[in-house]
Amino acid sequence: MPALESFANGWLEGQHEEKGLEWRWYFVRYPEMRAGRSGIYACADARMAYSLCMLDKQTMSSYYRDPFLSAIRQQSHVPEDAVQGAVWENWPGGPWFTGYETEARWMRLKASGLEIRCIEEGLSIRARSLAPSHAEAFERVRAEHGIGPEFLLNIPKVTRDGIQLDSRDRVQLGAALLRDLVAAGL
């Protein structure tokens, strides 16, 4: 294992945000994105990217995680019970989901009901019927993170070989956002 870790660390050192980070970079950088017991990932359109299901078993009929949302939650260091997926159980390494790979996976903040989803452009936020105190706190955090009226934490991009790649680490940006949302009582 040390040889593989050494190889992965060497590869990561050669990658730079200004050259662009593709979705595969995140899987090398964050071990929690490879934590599914089966090693199987599912996606809706047969194009691996930012909307993936990380299966623990070999079928979609079991519970699974979204690797990006799991990494964001773990990197944020917020308590595991601060968020949940579509599955109410709060097992380690979540949030957990169930359903078809075509369904959107929203990580829900338990205190406010605010939801976060990973999409190609960045992190989409859904804030339905927030309590007035939550709405004020959300507006403050939203302004701090540059989240516009479309409720999108837009990840800056660079174009390399005709492909749009992240020029900032979406997991770290998402972790900072989640940390601030939870700290604001959301």
Determine contact, residues 109/83, Cβ cutoff 8 Å: yes
Domain count, the chain: 1
Kindly report the pTM of this predicted structure: 0.91
Structural domain includes residue 6? no
Q: Is 110 left (phi over 0), alpha (psi -120 to 50) or beta?
A: alpha
What is the pLDDT, as a whole number, of residue 56?
87
| Within-domain flag for 18 | no
Residue 86: predicted pLDDT: 85
Question: Using an 8 Å Cβ cutoff, are 26 and 71 in contact?
Answer: yes
- Domain membership flag for residue 10: no
Is 9 among the domain residues? no
Q: How far apart are CA 21 and CA 46, in angstroms?
A: 20
Residue ranges making up the domain that contains 48 = 23-183
- The answer to whether residue 15 sits within a structural domain is no
pLDDT, tens only, 5-57: 776 777 677 777 778 898 889 999 999 999 888 888 888 887 788 889 999 88
Confidence of residue 129 (pLDDT cuts 50, 70, 90): confident
The pair phi, psi for residue 152, each rounded to 5°, is -130, 125
**Domain presence at residue 12:** no
Residue 123 lies in a domain: yes
| C-alpha–C-alpha distance, residues 155 and 32, integer Å | 21
Q: pLDDT tens, 73-100? A: 999 999 988 999 888 776 777 899 998 9
Residue 1 lies in a domain: no
Partners of 108 in beta bridges: 84, 115
